[in-house]
Structure 1
Amino acid sequence: MKVKLKPIDAQVIVITGATSGIGLATARLAAERGARLMLIARNGEALETLARELTAKGVQVEHAVADVGDADQLQKASDQAIARFGGYDTWVNNAGFSIYGQCLDVPVNEQKELFDTNFWGVVNGSLIAARHLKAHGGALINLGSEASDVALPLQGAYVASKHAVKGYTDALRMELQSEGAPVSVTLIKPAGIHTRFVEHARKHVDRQPKLPPPVYAPDIVAQAIVHAATHTVRDLYIGGASASMAAFARIAPRLYDRMMSRIGISSQLTAEPVGAQTDPGSSDGALHERSSQQRVVLESSLYTQAAMHWRKTALIAGGALAMWMLTRGARRAQSGPKVAGHSVQ
């Protein structure tokens, strides 16, 4: 069965981790483009703040406090969306966090907690969404990372969870395709994004972590998610740096390992002493799309724009090439044949 995705202004979109960073940017962008929204997060106060903000703009919004690691809580949120809107068309599994620390230093119980959110949260959301979307059609969008394809020191558990998300998403896509299910399954793989990723991370290091450059704006990811809600896309790298790192590690894995063993740790740490962790589930109701760290932030990505609109890019490139060839041919015709360095008139 062919997958048919609705225009964004005809959709109901479910977003987990909706009150911060990428989830918040996506909620605002989807609302701006006319979608109705089911917002899910652990922070009830922040959910109320966001719901009031969007409702004041005429957006139809429902929200639920839920921990994505708890399948029952997430199912209740799904049921709530169906009761309010009659169903949903796109489900975005966005919630996640990281832990900074050497693999030997991070307690196993914390790594398990990370997997409860980053991996099992995606599994829970994917299972709930896929069962609904198989009957109604739509898009399932999972947030991976450049770390779905490469490894990074100091974030071993995070890297492992994002590798697991990629493997699970790819397998689920194959199974749904084999059934002819009308469901588009997309994996989004961002590079470093200027959200509160570092502030919300748990830390077992003595210096404040940072994202290595280049760092991209969360709006770029939001645009890619909204694009995937209306186009059948297998996966999307956010930022040319993400695609380049994955290609480098695939083509020259030993060289990549040597490089990261030398600069991977230092590139992720500042000279400042480590600060306190802020838990997005227990903080006040303030909404933050971006990090408080002062960084040079890339507000656009030509690579991601080209990847999202590759047909248009190919047509423009083909047209430019054809025009160049025609112009070149015309110039040759005007100059006439050459004999011993002179034009023959």
Structure 2
Amino acid sequence: MHLKPLREQVLVLTGATSGIGLVTARQAARRGARLSLAARSEEALAQLVEELRRDGCDAIYTVVDVGVEADVRRLAEATLRHFGGFDTWINNAAAAIYGNLEEVPLEDQRRLFETNFWGMVYGSLIACEHLRQRGGKLITIGSVLSERAIPVQGVYSASKAAVMGYTDALRMELEQERAPVSVTLIKPGAIDTPYQDHAANYTYRGVKNPPPVYAPETVARAIFHAAEHHEREIVVGGGGKAVTTLGNAAPRLADKVMGHLMPWLQHDRRRLSHTTQGALYTPSNTLEERGGYPLTFEHSLYSVLMRHRGKAAIALTLAGGTYYVLRRLAGAPRLRFPRPPR
């Protein structure tokens, strides 16, 4: 199966008016892609599409709550009517909650799963109905917390673990039936978006993402790479990869470290007198890319190396060969190791 260059693709993108989705929409437009955008706020969507059209992008929008299957199906139908089809579907919309599991109302936990898990399920199944006929790409934005749950964001971690399990199973089923659909799961670490402002908060404290924090552009670049290449998964941010590696290698140690550090790393000095529901039920009507973190990494070296593993291996091999040749030309003595006694 051949994946088209991004400039020749029609992209469907949910959660398009904030953070990762907003950055991805704007950068995809600059790269020549055509866009079918979805979010809950018609005001923000209309403003974004008008902006993109002024810059020459063929873009449309559909007001969608991804937790409602009929809304997601309307998004696909609107895309088919306008563009005749699509090449890449990106499940990006998500909700977040800060709070201990026993203190977060079950209604809110269920609402989060409707967005994060069921929204991904509806998008994936509806996208595959179309992509089976013409081939293409399904991209889902997960999280490094799918592998390593942390306290304070327990329900979010659980939803992303469910997203990973469903996406992995769907990929295997599609491969088994030889369907022309390539599936990639992208797992970002902490990203500088309005995430903490849009999250429900039951901690009575100001909240933030634990460092290191990366720019949303790092995830957008991973999305564009996935749209053109057959990648199983992409982790964005070396910090998140370090956490998941620790969790897989030493789970009990990770439990203790995360249990002590994460509540502290996710709170700031502000004290709140009430809980908030953020954008869990009501969307934000503004276009915001970033959350205002004071220290943000604009690039992730780990992610770059993972996207270009072949080139990185060749570069390392060439560097090692060059070093060896230069040492030989310089007359450096060869390393000799004593022979073992007979």
Q: TM-score range by the shorter chain?
A: over 0.9
Question: Structure 1 CA distance, aligned partners of 2:256 and 2:196?
Answer: 25
Question: Structure 1 CA distance, aligned partners of 2:185 and 2:290?
Answer: 22
Equivalent residue number for residue 340 of structure 1: none
Question: Structure 2 CA distance, aligned partners of 1:60 and 1:280?
Answer: 30
Percent of pairs identical after alignment?
45
Cα deviation digits, residues 180-207 of structure 1 (max 9, x gap):
1111100110110000110000011111
Residues 189 and 48 (structure 1), Cα distance of their counterparts in 2 relative to 1, 3 Å cut: same
Cα deviation digits, residues 128-159 of structure 1 (max 9, x gap):
00111111111100011010100110111101
- Structure 2 residue 109 is the aligned partner of structure 1 residue 106: no
Question: 8 Å contact 1:45–1:284 — kept in the other structure?
Answer: no
Question: Structure 1 CA distance, aligned partners of 2:15 and 2:38?
Answer: 6
Question: Structure 2 CA distance, aligned partners of 1:34 and 1:106?
Answer: 43
Question: 8 Å contact 2:100–2:154 — kept in the other structure?
Answer: yes
Question: 8 Å contact 2:40–2:283 — kept in the other structure?
Answer: no
Question: Structure 2 CA distance, aligned partners of 1:108 and 1:284?
Answer: 23
Alignment of 1:265-284 (within 5 A): 265-274=263-272, 278-279=278-279, 282=282
Equivalent residue number for residue 330 of structure 2: 331
Residues 8 and 336 (structure 1), Cα distance of their counterparts in 2 relative to 1, 3 Å cut: closer
Code of the aligned partner of 1:258: K
Equivalent residue number for residue 180 of structure 1: 178
Question: Structure 2 CA distance, aligned partners of 1:324 and 1:131?
Answer: 53
Decide which of 109, 116, 119 is 1:118's aligned counterpart: 116
Equivalent residue number for residue 318 of structure 1: 317
SS at match of 1:153: coil
Question: Structure 1 CA distance, aligned partners of 2:86 and 2:174?
Answer: 18
**TM-score, normalisation: structure 2:** 0.94
The CA RMSD measured in Å over matched residues stands at 1.6
* Unpaired runs of at least 5, structure 2: 335-342
Equivalent residue number for residue 218 of structure 1: 216
How far 1:285 moved relative to its partner?
3.9
SS at match of 1:40: strand
Code of the aligned partner of 2:132: K
Equivalent residue number for residue 340 of structure 2: none
* Unpaired runs of at least 5, structure 1: 338-345
Aligned length: 333
Residues 52 and 192 (structure 1), Cα distance of their counterparts in 2 relative to 1, 3 Å cut: same
Question: Structure 2 CA distance, aligned partners of 1:284 and 1:180?
Answer: 41
Code of the aligned partner of 2:148: V
Question: 8 Å contact 1:199–1:277 — kept in the other structure?
Answer: no
SS at match of 1:270: strand
Moved more, 310-319 or 199-208: 310-319
Equivalent residue number for residue 254 of structure 2: 256
Question: 8 Å contact 2:15–2:93 — kept in the other structure?
Answer: yes
Equivalent residue number for residue 17 of structure 1: 15
**TM-score, normalisation: structure 1:** 0.93
